[in-house]
Every structure is written in C-alpha cells, then in structure tokens.
Chains A and B, each alone.
Chain A
C-alpha cells in the first residue's frame, strides 16, 4: 500500500483508556491524513497534517489528537477511548496537497472499544 504502514492492525481496548495509532510512510510525502470508516458514513476526515508539527482538524476531530514530529510518522491519539470510537481507522498520504491529488491509503487499523 504505497509504502504506508499502520500499527497496530487490530486493537481491543476498554472505555476510558488512552490509545495511540501509528502511521509510518516511506514516500516522503508532505501531507498525511487520518480517516475513520463506519457503515453508513463512508470515510470521514479526523485530522490532517501539512508538514512536521503542522496539523489541522477535520470534520470529526472531537476526542482525537494528532502529532507529527517527523515527516514519516503521524500519530493519532484517543485520550480516553469511548465506544463511539469503535471504527476502522485509515491513514492516507499525498505529495503536494492539491485538491485534485490522488490519496494513497494504508491498510487500516480495526479498533474496538469495549
């Protein structure tokens, strides 16, 4: 998947615990994104990054934070996981960030919050 590695691939956690998902890319792309995929909602943007230490919110950012200390790594943190955050999380990357640019997606992380 275009040099994108998401970890872990599967995680089960309990309500109220912190969770961090990692996205690692080997493409040296400037832009990175976190989406969540839920039945009936498609994919929704949580946060994105346009460079090291440069991040911005997407449409469903409440309850999530992100960090990007290196070009290749983009972390998504659920400070206190809730059952509504049970979802499949996808990381994506793009090179220039133009509106008509192709996104490359990772294989996803299945997160279950019990």
Chain B
C-alpha cells in the first residue's frame, strides 16, 4: 500500500515551460513534506520542503503548493531548463516518529527538451 501517491510517472516539457508534479498522501499524521531530486547514477538530494502550516513555499524556480484539506501537495518548476531533467520524488514523514524515516512517492522522470 503506497501511502504517498505521485503522478505523473513521466513528464516531458519544453525549455522555458512549467513542470508540475503532484502527490497525495493518506496518513494525516504526516507533517513534513520534502521533494528530492535524483540525477542518473546519483543518490537523491533534498530540493525543497514544506510544513503544513503554510500553503506555499518558493525557492528560486521551485515552488511547493500544499493543500492540507485535500491531503495533496505539488512541485512546480518554473522556466524549466534541460539541467532540471532528473527524477523527482515527493516524500512525507511525521515529526513525532523517531528517526528521519521518509515515505516516498513512486517518482517522476522529468525530461526538459531544449
């Protein structure tokens, strides 16, 4: 049972376009929602994260939108660049759980064409 569901599985965007990846969660105890970026042959690396006390967080071209009532959150990449081509994972965890034990979504392979 996947507690964090991610879509789409793959996404192709033209350079300069907006990339949008969506995630939905089931466990209402989750209260921390990070996004990780992974390049081929590398491990995932933290990109941006949000707590449920805010509805949006922006860092440069990357924005997380959070909808607590719908139990959904999404990653928006503005002005997408070929260098953004990677696999993106949403994740969730509970601050009450000991250890930084993240539950990950299935991943989205993003390709940005030049």
A50 to B97 alpha-carbon distance, docked (Å): 12
Pairwise interchain contact A45-B101, C-beta atoms closer than 8 A? yes
Pairwise interchain contact A99-B95, C-beta atoms closer than 8 A? yes
Asked whether A94 is an interface residue with its Cβ less than 8 Å from the other chain, the reply is yes
Known: A103-B44, A103-B100. 6 other contacts (CB 8 A): A42-B2, A42-B107, A43-B89, A99-B93, A105-B44, A105-B45
Q: Which residue in chain B gives the minimum CB-CB distance to A103?
A: B100
Pairwise interchain contact A103-B98, C-beta atoms closer than 8 A? no
Among B2, B41, B45, B100, contact of A101 (Cβ-Cβ < 8 Å) = B100
Pairwise interchain contact B31-A99, C-beta atoms closer than 8 A? yes
A80-114 contacts to B, CB under 8 A, are 90, 92, 94, 97-103, 105-108
Among B34, B36, B49, B99, contact of A31 (Cβ-Cβ < 8 Å) = B99
Asked whether B96 is an interface residue with its Cβ less than 8 Å from the other chain, the reply is yes
Nearest Cβ in chain B — how far from A108, in angstroms?
6
Interface residues of A (CB under 8 A from B): 1, 4, 31, 33, 35, 40-45, 48, 50, 56, 58-59, 90, 92, 94, 97-103, 105-108
Chain B residues whose C-beta falls within 8 Å of the C-beta of A50 in the assembled complex: 98-99
A105 to B9 alpha-carbon distance, docked (Å): 22
Indicate whether A94 sits within 8 Å of B42 (C-beta atoms), given known contacts A42-B89, A99-B93.
no
Nearest Cβ in chain A — how far from B42, in angstroms?
6
From A44, A90, A103, name the one whose CB has the most chain B CB atoms within 10 angstroms. A103
Pairwise interchain contact A42-B43, C-beta atoms closer than 8 A? no
A54 to B98 alpha-carbon distance, docked (Å): 13
Pairwise interchain contact A48-B43, C-beta atoms closer than 8 A? no
Chain A residues whose C-beta falls within 8 Å of the C-beta of B103 in the assembled complex: 45, 59
Pairwise interchain contact B98-A40, C-beta atoms closer than 8 A? no
Pairwise interchain contact A107-B41, C-beta atoms closer than 8 A? yes
Chain B residues whose C-beta falls within 8 Å of the C-beta of A107 in the assembled complex: 41-43
A94 to B46 alpha-carbon distance, docked (Å): 12
Chain B residues whose C-beta falls within 8 Å of the C-beta of A100 in the assembled complex: 32, 49, 51, 93, 95, 100
